[in-house]
Structure 1
Amino acid sequence: MTAELILDARNATGESPVWSIAEQALYWVDIPAKRLHRWSPADGKEHSWQASQMLACIAQTGHGSWIAAMENGLFAITPHADGSLDSRLLASVTHALPGMRFNDGRCDRQGRFWAGTMVMDMAAGAPVGAMYRYNAGQTEPLKAQLQGLIVPNGLAFSPDGKTLYLSDSHPDVQKIWAFDYDTDTGTPHNRRLFVDMGEHPGRPDGAAVDAEGCYWICGNDAGLIHRFTPQGKLDRSLTVPVKKPAMCAFGGADLDTLFVTSIRPAGDLADQPLAGGVFALRPGVKGLPEPLLNN
C-alpha cells in the first residue's frame, strides 16, 4: 500500500490530526511552530494560523472553535478567515517542573477532553508527566488523573468508549496500556499492558481506533503505522516515506482514509526529503467520527 503525500508541510512536529466532518477538512498542529493548520481535499488548499503558545493537541467544540492544550493550560481557540486566531484560557495547569507543556490528547466518547503533559527535554527522562481531564464549563484548575508518565502519547478510546488506551513513547518505556473506562464518571482503572512496543519497530506515538475496534499507532523512528487487534495482536503494518510518523486519524467523506502527520528533524534529510509532510493511506477499514467537546 502506497502512502500518498497530500501536503509537503515540512512541519517540525506535525501532530493531532482531526477530521472535521462539518467542513470536510483536516486540521492539525505544528507544535514548536505554534501553528494550527487546515487542509481541504475539495480544493487542495492549506491555511494556517499562528498561536501565542505551542499547540500540542486539539478537539472540536461544534461551534466553529476548538479546544487546544497548549503550554500552560487548555484554551478555546477560534481561527478566522482573515488569518487571525482568537484564544481564551479555559483551565490552567500547575506543572510539576519548569519546561513542561501538553502533548497528546483528545475527547472521550462522551466529549470530555483528555490531555497529557511532558517535560520538553526528553533526554531528562523525568516521570512527572500526567493526564488531565476537562469537562466543558469547568472553572477549577486541572487535576492530574494519571501520573508517573514521561511522554504520554497514543491516547484513544474503543468504539464503545469503555476502554482507554495510553502509551508512553519515551525510549526508556515504549509501552501501550489499556484501562477499563467508566463512561459515567470518566475514570480509568484496571491498568494493564496492551502492547510492549519494545517487541515491535518504532516508538509508540499518536494513535487512532477504527470502527472494528482495532488500535492504530505510529511507529516513530521506524516509518510504520501498526494496527493491533483489541487483544493486542499485531494485525498489519503500513509504511510511510518518512522515519517519524507522529499521529494518525481517520477522515475523508467515508472516514476510510488514514491521515498521518510527521516530524521533520534537524540535520541531513536526503533519505527522507518529505519529512514533516502529511500523508494519506487507504487501509481498507473505516474510522469513527471524532467526538466533540461536551458543551
Structure 2
Amino acid sequence: MSANPQVERFEAAGPLPAATGESPVWRAAEQALYWVDIPAKKIVRGSLETGKRSEWQLPEQVACIAFDRNGTVLAGCETALFAVTLAAAADTGASAGEPLTASLRKLAAPEFPHPGMRFNDGRCDRQGRFWSGTMVMDMAAAIPGGALYRFDEKGTLSAPVVDALITQNGLGWSPDGATMYLSDSHPQRRLIWAFDYDVATGEPRNRRVFADLNHYVGRPDGAAVDADGCYWICANDAGQLLRFTPQGKLDRQIAVPAIKPAMCAFGGRDLDTLFVTSIRPGSGATEHDGQVFALRPGVKGLPEPEYAGQL
C-alpha cells in the first residue's frame, strides 16, 4: 500500500473547474465517472475509455445522484428528489458545445422547515435504499434545520430519520451494510457519527461519535468506504483525505492539490482508483481548485449500489 500515492487530474473532467464538484459515482458498465456541479445545475460525465466529457443542464441545483438498474438518475436537488433521464452522451464529448438535455420527474419532497434549503449529500445503502440529507444553503447562518431522509424501494420518503443537522454530509456504509456513517461538516460541528444499521428495515440506531475532526484537520465532507471497511473522508479546507479504520482510528492522511476536497468515490477498471471532486473557493483559488483528481491508494473500493426501486 502506497503511503504517498501520486495524485493526478482526471483528464476526462476537462479543463474547466467546477464551482462545487460533488457526488462522484462510478458506472462500471460505462467505465465512466459521473459527478455534479451544484450551483452550475449540471450533471457531468467523464469517460475513462475515451477521455471525453459530457454534461447535462438541469433547471435547478443538483447536489447528489444515484442510478437505478436502467440508468435513470435519482437526484437530490433544490426542491425535491427527481428521476432524471439523461439524453444519450455521445463519447465525442459535449464540452465544446451546448450541454445535453435532461428530463425530470418529481418523486418526493420533504417539508422544508426554513427557506433557502436544498438536498445535499446522498447515496444508496447496500440494499438499494436512497438516503439524502437537507441543509440551509446559507452556511454562515449556522441553522440546524437539516435532516436525513430515506427514500425506499417502494418510492416512499420517510420522515426525518436524523434531524438538527447544519450541513449534512459523509454518508457511507460498511461492506456488510451493518454500520452507517454520517457527518456534519459545518465549522461548528466537524463530527462524524456511526450507527448500527438494520439492513432489513433500513433503521439506524445507537448513534455515537466515530471521529471528531476538531482533533484532526479540516471539515468532514463527502466519504467513501473501501473493501477493508475503512472510511475515507474529504477534509474540506485542509486539502487532505483521511482514512479511519472501522474502530475510528486515523491510519492514513493524503494531501490533494485542492484546498477543498468535497467527496470521493472508488472506481476504475479494478475499483482501485479513488476519484476526488473539489470546490473552488470564492477567493484565492488556484488552478487545481474545482478539479477532479484520481489516485491509487493501494486498496480497492466496493461497487456503488444502485437504487432498488423502479423510477
Confirm or deny that 1:159 pairs with 2:175. yes
| Aligned-pair CA distance for 1:9 | 3.7
Residue of structure 2 aligned with 1:279, choices 267, 286, 293: 293
For residues 13-51 of structure 1, the C-alpha deviation after alignment (integer angstroms, 9 at most, x for no partner) is: 000000001111000000011000000111110000000
Question: When the two structures are superposed, what TM-score results if normalisation uses the length of structure 1?
Answer: 0.97
Amino acid across the alignment from 2:245: T
- Correspondences of 1:64-83 after superposition (within 5 Å): 64-81=71-88, 83=100
- SS class of match (2:134): strand
Deviates more, 1:210-219 or 1:82-91: 82-91
Q: Could you tell me which residue of structure 2 aligns to residue 34 of structure 1? A: 41
- Distance in structure 1 (CA, Å) of the matches to 2:36 and 2:158: 22
- SS class of match (2:83): strand
Q: Could you tell me which residue of structure 2 aligns to residue 223 of structure 1? A: 239
Q: Could you tell me which residue of structure 2 aligns to residue 171 of structure 1? A: 187
Confirm or deny that 1:4 pairs with 2:47. no
Confirm or deny that 1:259 pairs with 2:266. no
Q: Could you tell me which residue of structure 1 aligns to residue 26 of structure 2? A: 19
Confirm or deny that 1:145 pairs with 2:161. yes
Amino acid across the alignment from 2:284: D
Q: Is the 8 A contact 2:21 2:290 kept in 1?
A: yes
| Aligned-pair CA distance for 1:277 | 0.3
The alignment yields a C-alpha RMSD, in angstroms, of: 1.0
| Aligned-pair CA distance for 1:207 | 0.1
| Aligned-pair CA distance for 1:138 | 2.0
- Distance in structure 1 (CA, Å) of the matches to 2:158 and 2:229: 30
| Aligned-pair CA distance for 1:81 | 2.6
- Distance in structure 1 (CA, Å) of the matches to 2:160 and 2:79: 14
How many pairs align? 292
Identity %, equivalent residues: 60
Amino acid across the alignment from 2:300: K
Amino acid across the alignment from 1:247: M
Q: Is the 8 A contact 1:91 1:142 kept in 2?
A: no
Confirm or deny that 1:94 pairs with 2:111. yes
Question: Structure 1: 5+ residue runs without aligned partners?
Answer: none
Question: When the two structures are superposed, what TM-score results if normalisation uses the length of structure 2?
Answer: 0.92
Residue of structure 2 aligned with 1:126, choices 143, 146, 164: 143
Question: Structure 2: 5+ residue runs without aligned partners?
Answer: 90-99
For residues 127-149 of structure 1, the C-alpha deviation after alignment (integer angstroms, 9 at most, x for no partner) is: 1100000013325x542111011
Q: Is the 8 A contact 1:209 1:287 kept in 2?
A: yes
- Distance in structure 2 (CA, Å) of the matches to 1:145 and 1:52: 28
Q: Is the 8 A contact 2:69 2:308 kept in 1?
A: no
- SS class of match (1:198): helix
| Aligned-pair CA distance for 1:157 | 0.3
- Distance in structure 1 (CA, Å) of the matches to 2:177 and 2:288: 35
- Distance in structure 1 (CA, Å) of the matches to 2:135 and 2:305: 24
